[in-house]
Each structure stands twice: as C-alpha cells, then as structure tokens.
Amino acid sequence: MEGLKVKETKSRSIRKAISWRLVAFVNSWLVLSISITHSDVINALAMNVTGFILFYIFERIWNKINYGRYYEE
C-alpha cells in the first residue's frame, strides 16, 4: 500500500461536517446550560477547551470508519 493516497468521497465529508456540527452544537448548549458563571470569557474558554477535546475524539472515531474512503496511486 506504499505510494497510495487515501481520499474521501464528498458524501463522507458532508456526513463528517454535519455530524461535527451536531456535536459542536450540543457541546455549546451543554456548556452554556451548565455554566455557573455568566462570564462570556469563561464560557468561551470552556467551549474551546471542551470543543478541542471533543474534536480530537471525533476525529479518532472517524479515522476508524472506512465509509467513503478510497485509495489512489
């Protein structure tokens, strides 16, 4: 498989984008709902930290899914 490049179909990219936006929306909603303070800076920081962690997990999960992948030389 050396020399092969992994490519993604448009369908995979669209599904990833939609699913990420759902995860990001739920993250924002939860952070703002649970927020103890009403500080915009604290909320923004919390959303960025949790978003970073969730995005890392999200990408690791999608890397295990072969749907929509193909290989080119």
Residue 12 reports pLDDT greater than 90: yes
What's the pLDDT tens digit per position in 22-73? 999 999 999 999 988 788 999 999 999 999 999 999 999 999 999 999 998 8
In the chain, where are the structural domains located? 5-69
Distance (Å) of CA 55 to CA 16, 17, 20, 71: 11, 11, 8, 25
Going by pLDDT thresholds of 50, 70 and 90, the confidence category of residue 1 is low
